[in-house]
Amino acid sequence: MSRPLRIQFPKALYHVTSRGDRKGMIYRDHVDRSVWLSLLAKVCADYHFIVHSFCQMGNHYHLVVETPDGNLSQGMRQLNGMYAQYFNRRHDLVGHLFQGRYYAVLAQREAYLQQLSRYVVLNPVRAQLVTSPGEWPWSSYRHVMAQDSCPDWLDVGSTLRIFSDNPETAVAAYERFVIAGIGAPSPLLQARHQLILGDDAFVASLQLPTSADKLRTVAKEQRRAMATSLQEYSAQSPTRNDAMASAYLSNAYTMAQIAAHFGVAIKTVSRAVKKNRVR
């Protein structure tokens, strides 16, 4: 009997990102950004999430989040679901806001909390929207730097204590560390099978399959577990072709699986995907 896979468990730490469907904007103005933050606060309260770092971009967001109760999928489903309902209602839209649900990489806290927190707040700099992370008001950077008041759901202390127990010394060291990371490669490039950041002992503790083929299967199963169901694609898309194309482009389903669900030939799914890509 194969050992159980442990990707969700108490006190797990993740880098999470969620992107707009077809690269669409998920925030149109400051009102949208503020509402998303208020919904994030509610999810943190309801599901006991601890956010260590965040950044709102235009068509996606990033979180470094800890789950004391081992319930990432439940909380993220609530966050994206509530925000999508709000966004569509406010902007008089229908259909998907997000491309699938979210993408998460499990991280070894001791080795990667510092690096991931820096990576997240440097997103606006990498995108050339600003020259310094402090110029971007929609990330955790200014909160860690004590330039803006810190919400209850954001844990800046864990990040700062990595640098020093003295608050002023820690803030100065954090600033130097972040600035030194401009132009550095993403720590996510070190993820094993796009799922896990950690050393051999950490990976072993997760009770993962050992063969490369089995790990690839695990990665595929994880993406599928985080993806929108085919039933949801069918219910939320304006046409069947849109539903089939969106499901395939989420990378969670094969054309054969989609064809079987919708009761069509594989070539019908292929045509729907091609039409979607040329729009």
pTM over 0.95: no
Query: Which of 56, 108, 58 lies closest to 79 in space, CA to CA?
Result: 56
The average pLDDT across 142-159 equals: 97
**What does the domain layout of the chain look like in residue ranges?**
12-227, 229-279
Q: How confident is the model at residue 51 (pLDDT cuts 50, 70, 90)?
A: very high
Nearest to 40 by CA among 63, 73, 60, 13: 63
pLDDT at position 131, please?
97
- Predicted confidence band at 106 (pLDDT cuts at 50, 70, 90)? very high
CB 196, CB 14: distance < 8 Å: no
The answer for residues whose C-beta is within 8 angstroms of residue 124's C-beta and 6 or more apart is 55, 57, 130, 133, 135, 136, 139
How many angstroms separate the CA atoms of 159 and 109, rounded? 11
pLDDT the model gives residue 93: 94
Q: Residue 186: what pLDDT?
A: 92
pLDDT surpasses 60 at 118? yes
pLDDT value for 192:
84
Residue 232, amino acid: E
Residue 251 has pLDDT above 70, yes or no: no
Question: Is residue 102 scored above 70 in pLDDT?
Answer: yes
The model's pLDDT over 62-81, given as tens digits with 9 standing for 90+, comes to: 999 999 999 999 999 999 99
What one-character-per-residue DSSP string does 57-116 give?
-SSEEEEEEEETTS-HHHHHHHHHHHHHHHHHHHTT--S-SBSSS-EEEEE-HHHHHHHH
Whether 6 shows a pLDDT value over 80: the answer reads no
- The dotted CATH code for 12-227 is 3.30.70.1290
Instruction: Give the pLDDT confidence of 211-238 residue by residue, as tens digits.
Output: 555 556 555 555 554 455 677 677 667 7
Q: Which of 31-35, 100-104, 143-147, 248-252 has the lowest mean pLDDT?
A: 248-252
Mean pLDDT for the chain overall: 89
